[in-house]
Chain A
Amino acid sequence: GQQVMQIPQYQHVQEGEDFTTYCNSSTTLSNIQWYKQRPGGHPVFLIQLVKSGEVKKQKRLTFQFGEAKKNSSLHITATQTTDVGTYFCAGTGTSYGKLTFGQGTILTVHP
């Protein structure tokens, strides 16, 4: 079945440093979504990427979808303490299909 691997599992940064988490799928994806989950909270949708090679930005966050639609990354520039949480990628193999979540990257930002 479809597998989505995400690295790193943990990332500790000083406030102001950049952060990147990577996602790789065992199969070609129809689309990939990114979620953020704060400690004790539920996943909150951040963005969806659909097109091969797509790049989207949300303020300090940059999302990329690989040319082969099998990998993706989330980059945060100049992290802030409000960025702490777990970032999950989730992909669908076919349109309207079920989401397969990556393991998540737990981000800690030290002030």
Chain B
Amino acid sequence: GAVVSQHPSRVICKSGTSVKIECRSLDFQATTMFWYRQFPKQSLMLMATSNEGSKATYEQGVEKDKFLINHASLTLSTLTVTSAHPEDSSFYICSARDGLRQETQYFGPGTRLLVL
């Protein structure tokens, strides 16, 4: 099956620093990638939709200047949490939609962010 990787898997940083998370589709081209955030014992909340070569579409309530998304190629999207604060600590998960099988999303393993 299709594989999506995320890096890093876990990161601890100090408050005020920026953290970059990478999402890669390993064996297919992903014209669209999605970024989700999941707090403990809660559901996945869509943060933004990332389209290759264009600006990301952010969900209501998600600050685009705080969560910078870049989708520079058909296999890579990055999420940068700028000036991270403890309340940004969460599980960030990306998913990629196969360009050929449009309705199937493949999820990455997630990145656990802890901001001290």
Contact = CB atoms under 8 A, between A and B. Distances in A.
Interface of A: 30-31, 33, 35, 41-45, 48, 50, 88, 90, 92, 95-96, 98-104, 106
A45 B106 contact: yes
Interface in B1-58: 34, 41-46, 49
Most buried by A among B41, B46, B103: B103
14 contacts: A30-B103, A42-B108, A43-B93, A45-B105, A50-B103, A88-B44, A95-B102, A96-B102, A98-B49, A99-B46, A99-B105, A103-B43, A104-B43, A106-B41
B47 to A, nearest CB: 11
A42 B103 contact: no
Interface residues of B, number: 19
A31 B103 contact: yes
Contacts of B102: 95-96
Interface of B: 34, 41-46, 49, 93, 97, 102-110
Contacts of B105: 33, 45, 99
Most buried by B among A33, A42, A88: A42
Contacts of B93: 42-43
Contacts of A41: 109-110
Nearest to B102: A96
Contacts of B44: 43, 88, 90, 101
Given A42-B93, A43-B93, A95 B103 contact: yes
Contact of B34 (A48, A99, A106): A99
A100 B43 CA distance: 10
Given A42-B93, A104-B43, A106-B41, A96 B107 contact: no
A42 B102 CA distance: 21
B43 A98 contact: no
Most buried by A among B43, B46, B105: B43
